[in-house]
Amino acid sequence: MKNVLIQMRNKEIVRMIDKHFMTKTAVAKWFRISKQRVDQIYKEEKADVSNIRTAGDGKDNRTT
């Protein structure tokens, strides 16, 4: 259960920074953690997304 809550918190941190344009300092105050920890979480979550690869020939699969 604890793992699920941490995953939800981490996704919310990324959403607050990317979608709501909140500063890392503001997010840190909201969750009562350090700004450095917010930065670590943000970088880890963004790295996880960038490691997703496209299928097939490796080209972009957009149809437009």
Query: To the nearest whole number, what is the mean pLDDT of the chain?
Result: 86
- 26 vs 2, more confident: 26
Determine how many CB atoms are found less than 10 A away from the CB of residue 42.
18
User: What confidence category does residue 48 fall into, taking pLDDT thresholds of 50, 70 and 90?
Assistant: confident
Q: Would the pTM count as exceeding 0.85?
A: no
What is the structure's pLDDT at 27?
97
Q: Is residue 60 predicted with pLDDT exceeding 70?
A: no
Mean pLDDT of 34-44: 97
Residue 55 class from Cβ within 10 Å (0-12 exposed, 13-18 middle, 19+ buried)?
Answer: exposed
Q: Give the number of other CB atoms < 10 A from CB of residue 50.
A: 8
Q: Domain ranges in the chain?
A: 2-49
